[in-house]
Amino acid sequence: MKDLAFLIDVDNTLIDNDKVKADLVERIEGVVGKQHGTAFWRIYEDVRRDLDYVDLPQTLSRFKSRYPDERGFPMLAAMVLFYPFESCLFPAAPDVVAHLKSMGAVAILSDGDPVFQPAKIARAGLYDAVDGKVLVYPHKEDHLQDVQRRVPARRYVVIDDKPNVLSVMRRRLKGKGTSVHVCQGKYALASQPHDYPDPDIQVQQISELLDYKTF
């Protein structure tokens, strides 16, 4: 058993998802027009509300059912499914993963759908970066027993952009967890700090973790 394991989130922690979304909004509108572009993102939010996580294949499927005559659909689907996530990693994200591996086990721990999210992680080069230790759940904080079985360690450092998720995971790890809040993206700013206990460590950018020699 390793002494230390790092459980790193993906969206807005290693991948700049706000940048991906802004880029996709523009590209999708270019292919299917403003009206159907807006409809796509409305369906995206409907799916998120229904499933409680983002599911792009499901979003595409519902869009196709609702707008069967949209000629741009093949381009839309290709654009979404083959998005080059490797070009949207935050600067130094791969270096941070390599740096943390010098201190302990490193796993990706992400929320998401069971198909597209793992593919996105692989596409971004993160599967290789963590030697295949990729864990994806609809709500990761509800699967910490399974996480500890799959990545055994005496202590865990959880790294995430969402203060509420960090707070729950730290509590459920019962003294074995250290929380690292990375203040990147919309969720980092959406929650007032006083809503949750202070994280053990807070950084503005993931690259700042390169300066940490111990946890």
- Using CB under 5 A, list all residues that contact Mg ion: 9, 11-12, 161
Cβ-based burial of 214 (10 A; exposed 0-12, middle 13-18, buried ≥19): exposed
Of the pair 16, 70, the CB lying nearest Mg ion is at: 16
Nearest distance from C-beta of residue 10 to Mg ion, angstroms: 6
Smaller CB distance to Mg ion: residue 32 or 89?
A: 89
| Dihedral (Cα; 173, 52, 196, 12), 10-degree rounding | 90
Q: How far is the CB of 35 from Mg ion (least distance, A)?
A: 30
Distances from the Cα of 64 to the Cαs of 32, 39, 142, 145, in angstroms?
12, 11, 33, 38
Identity of the residue, 37 or 163, whose beta carbon is nearer to Mg ion in the bound complex: 163
CB of 87 to Mg ion, least distance (A): 18
Residue with tokens 């949209």: 70
C-beta of 9: minimal distance to Mg ion in Å?
4
Residues for the chain: how many in total?
Answer: 215
| Beta-ladder partners of 2 | 153
Nearer to Mg ion, 9 or 113 (CB): 9
